[in-house]
Chain A
Amino acid sequence: MTTESLDPAADSRRGFLNAALGFFGTIAVVGVIYPVGLYLWPRREKRPEGGARSMKIPLAEVPIGDAKFIRFFNKPTVIIRPNEQELVALSAVCTHLGCIVKWNDANSELHCPCHGGVFDTKGAVIGGPPPSPLESYSTTVEDGYIVIEEA
């Protein structure tokens, strides 16, 4: 029944209705997508307050020239004592695709079992595909205990 071009009032009414339809339609779509999206998006685990956490390991558990794998606040971690003076704590998660590295006794290196990444005792990449060195933690020795502190 509309005669668009001949009736300016009907035209503007139609324009207004279309705009209103678009406006409320958009609100409806966003109103569904936004809460559902937020609901689905994973939450980051909150870090407990009180600064960096630390953990103690008896020094005797890591012989010189050897490595020990520990769970440092649920993160796979390796403590290495390449020689008398040095003490290193590294994340054991390979920076390539997230596998857990293994200690290679013969070469004093860390080898990734997945794609052949090789790291030295400081965590630096010396072979294979890993793009960056292993994450390291600061360590100190106090009365026969190794104290590892979160970065």
Chain B
Amino acid sequence: MAHQTDFTKKKECEVKALPLEEKKRMVKDGEAHWFFPRHVAEQVIICGALLMILITISTIFPAHLGEKADPFNTPDHIKPEWYFLAAYYTLRVAEYTEFLGAWAPKIMGIVMQGVAVTLLLLVPFIDRGGKERRPSKRPIAMAAGAAAAITFIAFTLLGHYV
């Protein structure tokens, strides 16, 4: 392994330009797999399995079609789809900002959602802590990520049950 090619630091075009002998050596030394047939086969198996899972779920739990929309009657207990429950719950959390003024609850709800999305977009620019990638060496980033994930899950559950 003394003259190991640092495969992972190369751009794809550089890897492509490696001599065939070097590629063969890397496959032999277990640094890489052939794209064909091994990698392609893996992809096909994964995609096939996923399709089977989808078909199975769709058969066991068929999608149902609710009542037709009636603009003059709001049904009880309307809830958004699960992936919007957290956003929906922030609207409720925003009601506690009433002490700021009557305007606050409606605006703070959307402000919180906007801030959350902006923070998510800017993750690489907020966490500029060097090149260290191992989770154990990035306690602050891991803690912040866990806090965000827990908040999202908690809001989703609260949005569902409250």
Binding site for B on A (CB under 8 A): 69, 71, 76, 96-97, 99-102, 112-115, 129, 131
Shortest Cβ-Cβ A-B pairs, 9 listed: A100-B74, A99-B74, A113-B76, A76-B72, A129-B95, A113-B74, A129-B105, A131-B106, A114-B78
For B106, give the chain A residue with the smallest CB separation: A131
Contact A129 B78 (CB under 8 A): no
A112 — which chain B residues lie within 8 A by C-beta? 74
Chain A residues with CB below 8 A from B91, complex form: 97, 115, 129
Summed over the interface, the residue pairs from A and B with CB atoms below 8 Å come to a total of 31
Compute how far the CA of A25 lies from the CA of B39 in the bound complex, rounded to whole angstroms: 48
Contact across chains for A114 and B105 when beta carbons are under 8 A apart: no
Name B70's closest neighbour in chain A (CB-CB): A100
Q: How far is the CB of B136 from chain A (nearest CB, A)?
A: 43
Q: Are B71 and A76 in contact (CB under 8 A)?
A: yes
Can you list 22 A-B pairs, Cβ within 8 angstroms, ordered by A? Answer: A71-B72, A76-B71, A76-B72, A96-B106, A97-B91, A99-B78, A100-B73, A100-B74, A101-B74, A102-B74, A113-B74, A113-B75, A113-B76, A113-B77, A114-B74, A114-B78, A129-B91, A129-B105, A131-B102, A131-B103, A131-B105, A131-B106
**CB nearest to A99 among chain B residues:** B74
